[in-house]
């Protein structure tokens, strides 16, 4: 099992979610985050005083899938989240040791 983590532009969340639902991904976790990569923040003036805004709002989406689904999920996230402009985000793939469904106690792939 792998955890696929996408850092996305917030307005792309719906497109990514719909794309994943289309291929049968029925669960995900979404967190609001801030960050920066090559897309830097910017400077603003507040009543004449400068302040820097380094971090840009992003959305992080976590999906845990079976190994054989990793490639298609990553490809779906990339294609639906892409705008072509700086700040589109990244996708990370992490290994998952165990998954348990709390309600039933199922483990492993069944718990996904």
Partner 1 sequence: MESFAHLTYAVDTFYFLICGALVMWMAAGFAMLEAGLVRSKNTTVILTKNVVLFAIACVMYLLIGYYIMYSSNAGGILPNFGFLIGSENAAGDILAGGESAPYYSARSDFFFQVVFVATAMSIVSGAVAERMKLWAFIIFCVILTGFIYPVEGFWTWGGGWLSAMGFSDYAGSGIVHLAGASAALSGAIFLGPRKGKYGSKGQVNAIPGANLPLATLGTFILWMGWFGFNGGSELKMSDISSANNVAQVFVNTNAAAAGGVVAALIVATMLFKKADLTMVLNGALAGLVAITAGPSAPSALGATLIGAAGGIIVVFSIIFIDKTFKIDDPVGAISVHGVVGIWGLIAVPITNPEASLGIQLAGALSIFGWVFVVSSVVWYILKLTIGIRVGEDEEYEGLDFIECGMEAYPEFTKTSK
Considering only 20-28, 40-48, 66-74, 97-105, which stretch makes contact with partner 1 by CB under 8 A?
A: 40-48
Considering only 21-29, 31-39, 66-74, 89-97, which stretch makes contact with partner 1 by CB under 8 A?
A: 31-39
Contact present, 60 and 31 (Cβ < 8 Å): yes
SS (H, E, C) 2-54: EEEEEEECHHHHHHHHHHHHHCCCCCCEEEEEEECCCCCCEEEEECCEEEEEC
Residue 58 found at the interface with partner 1 (CB under 8 A): yes
Closest CB 94 distance from partner 1, rounded Å: 22
- Residues near partner 1 (CB under 8 A) are 9-11, 13-14, 32-34, 42, 44-46, 53, 57-59, 85
């Amino acid at each position: 099992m792998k955890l696929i983590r996408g850092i996305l532009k917030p307005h792309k969340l719906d497109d990514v979610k719909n794309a994943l639902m289309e291929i049968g991904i029925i669960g995900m976790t979404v967190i609001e985050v801030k960050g920066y990569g090559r897309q830097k923040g910017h400077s603003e003036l507040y009543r004449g005083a400068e302040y820097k805004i380094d971090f840009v709002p992003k959305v992080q989406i976590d999906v845990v899938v079976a190994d054989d689904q990793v490639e298609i999920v990553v490809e779906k996230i990339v294609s639906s989240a892409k705008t072509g402009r700086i700040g589109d985000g990244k996708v990370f793939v992490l290994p998952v040791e165990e998954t348990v469904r709390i309600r039933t106690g199922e483990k492993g792939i069944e718990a996904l």
